[in-house]
Amino acid sequence: MDTKIELQGVKKRFGQKVVLDGVDLKIGKGESVVIIGGSGSGKSVTIKSVLGIVRPDAGKIFVDGKETTHLHGRAREAVLKKFGMLFQGAALFDSLPVWENVAFGLIQGRGMGRKKAKDIAIAKLAKVGLGSEVASLSPSELSGGMQKRVGLARAIAADPEILFFDEPTTGLDPIMADVINDLITSTVKDLGVTAISITHDMTSARKISDRIAMLYKGKIIWHGPTKDIDNSGNEYVDQFIHGRAEGPIKMEVRG
């Protein structure tokens, strides 16, 4: 399998706090990888490093075999065209109606005409199970689950090669969470994209991933196929997936 994204020894600290302490991870083309880990373990910083929103202090990041670690300006924008991202709180632009949110990357990022972009936006909304009547609503009129769907439609609007999902099911009721999981699996399969998700919801992780990697104290301490997660032989992983308070992972009350 070709490698789509590779992280080599990525390090990042904010002030005194070391967040990433040498992350190594390879993600194959068309693979769906879930990164699990507790709050503050550096999951978000990992994917933001790949996007270039956070600049790593050390290490290298490759996308399609080309190093992207220090790109900025136009070169960074060109790489970002391969990506789509669903944010934790959906991060919809509340000054714009739903369809313009979905079409944003097409209109602003790629200079497509508004009429054509709107048609594509409505088609993408249909893909995530939303009717065209939603298109002209403001994001604040939607429920949390619907906002997530619009966020997903926006992420896939420009047919990206890589999709990132940041806590896709957090804050949703179990049924809506499962709907989002199904949507993620089907979009990843249909579009043939490479996906990285970060979550601490194990039900979701098992359902949407081919492979799971666990991040702890800024390092990947275990990774393997999803079916092996229950027999990882790693006591940190065991404690995490069973949600036990007792074990090698000590909750740091102060970050």
Partner 1 sequence: MNIFASVGRLFLLFLAEVGRLTRFTVSAVSSIVRPPVYWRLLLQQIMRIGWFSLPVVGLTAFFTGGALALQIFIGGNRYGAEAIVPQIVVLGITRELGPVIAGLMVAGRVAAAIAAEIGTMRVTEQIDALTTLSTNPVKYLVVPRLIAAVLTMPILVAIADSIGVFGGYIVATKSLGFNGAVYLKNTADFVTSHDVMSGLVKAAVFGFVIALMGCYSGFNSKGGAQGVGRATTNAVVSSSILILAANYLLTSILFTS
Instruction: Select the span of 106-114, 185-193, 225-233, 246-254 touching partner 1 (CB under 8 A).
Output: 106-114
Among left, alpha and beta (phi > 0; psi -120 to 50; other), residue 65 is left
Distance CA 139, CA 147 (A): 7
CB nearer partner 1, residue 12 or residue 211: 12
Residue 73: Cβ-neighbour burial (10 angstroms; 0-12, 13-18, 19+) = exposed
Query: Near partner 1 by CB under 8 A, which window of 63-71, 88-96, 205-213, 221-229?
Result: 88-96
Name the token pair of 67: 């190093």
Judge residue 208's burial from the number of C-beta atoms within 10 Å of its C-beta, 0-12 exposed, 13-18 middle, 19 or more buried: buried
Q: Does 109 bind partner 1 (CB under 8 A)?
A: yes
According to the binding rule CB under 8 A, does residue 104 interact with partner 1? yes
| Stretch touching partner 1 by CB under 8 A, among 33-41, 82-90, 170-178, 204-212 | 82-90
Query: How many chain residues touch partner 1 (CB under 8 A)?
Result: 25
Task: Let me know: does 222 contact 234? Beta carbons within 8 Å.
Answer: yes
Using DSSP bridges, classify how beta strands 219-225 and 211-216 pair: parallel, antiparallel or unpaired: antiparallel
Q: Shortest approach of partner 1 to residue 42 CB, angstroms? A: 16
Backbone angles phi, psi at 142, to 5 degrees: -100, 155
Query: Quick check: 223 binds partner 1 (CB under 8 A)?
Result: no
Letter string b/e over residues 95-124, b meaning 16 or more CB atoms within 10 A of that residue's CB: eebbbbbbbbbbbeeeebeeeebbebbbeb
**Contact between 93 and partner 1 per CB under 8 A:** yes
Candidates 89, 113, 225, 247; binder of partner 1 (CB under 8 A) is 89
Residues 153-212 that bind partner 1 (CB under 8 A): 154, 164
Nearer to partner 1, 80 or 188 (CB): 80
Nearer to partner 1, 94 or 133 (CB): 94
Binding site for partner 1 (CB under 8 A): 48, 51-53, 77, 80-81, 83-85, 87-89, 91-94, 104-105, 108-111, 154, 164
